[in-house]
Amino acid sequence: MPKLSFQQVDVFSSQPMRGNPLAVVIGADALSDAQMQSFANWTNLSETTFLLEPTDPKASYGVRIFTPSQELPFAGHPTLGSAHVWLSQQQTSPTGDIVQECGAGLIRIRRDGHRLAFAAPPLTRSGPVDRALVERIAKALSLPDNLIEDSNWCENGPDWIGVRLPSRADVLAVRPDYSALAGTRVGLVGRFDPDLDGRDAQFEVRAFTRNGYEDPVTGSLNAGLAQWLIGSGVAPESYVAAQGTVLGRAGRVYVDKVGDDIWIGGDVVACIQGALEL
């Protein structure tokens, strides 16, 4: 049985246990698909990643990303968490951007002091959401139709549907009916009121997965929302999104548009380090 190095990190938070956890297996090239999926199912985290030698010479490392039930081509908090763990294994600090090779292709990651950020991949689906689907989502979230200001496909691997509400308070008040949402990934976003909500973030985000739970802090969703909100003029080119509030987390996602790129950034802290046998 191979013995492999392992870390569990918290992503999108500078404080342990306030962001979104990720399990990362280092040097996993010898593991089979079945072993990877089995371990991801056992950890029961939203995602578990496996660091590999890259096959593309332009890449710094390769990664495979698994939920408890399937492999994903791309996901946001696994990208930042995997990059953090890969950096922790380097004897000398690399210069320039880090390049991650994953199912969605090559993802650029930059360092800004202690914070990491990835370049949002292109949306594979965008545009208006069918009216009947919006009505089903509204019913599942117990929202009156007129409270939904706008909706848009924000698919970049995961097939997120972005739903914009008037305020942070409206986002936090939602209590989803997961049976009615089944099979749909829905991301809510609403503006902060600086006088009521403070000024450390400008938007509140919540992510309801297709598997019946709320994700604490979601890089892929925030990447899709940023492309939609900035592109439609709703959000400025630089802002901070809060996520995980209802779950007792304090996730912060840092969004910056630089040229044609939108960067999705956050802090990462290591919580568990050791070895595992598979």
**Active-site pick, 47, 101, 155, 204:** 47
How far from the centroid of its chain's Cα atoms is residue 150's Cα? 21
Q: What is the sign of the dihedral through the CA atoms of 257, 263, 264 and 266?
A: negative
> Annotated catalytic, 47?
yes
- Other beta carbons less than 10 A from residue 39's beta carbon: 21
Q: Exposure pattern of 108-141 as b/e (b: 16+ CB <10 Å)?
A: bbbbeeeebbbbbbebeebeebeeeebeebbebb
Q: Are strands 203-208 and 185-191 parallel, antiparallel or unpaired?
A: antiparallel
Whole-angstrom Cα distance, residue 245 to residue 250? Answer: 6
**What span, in angstroms and rounded, lies between the C-alpha atoms of 71 and 69?**
7
Give the residue numbers marked as catalytic.
Answer: 47
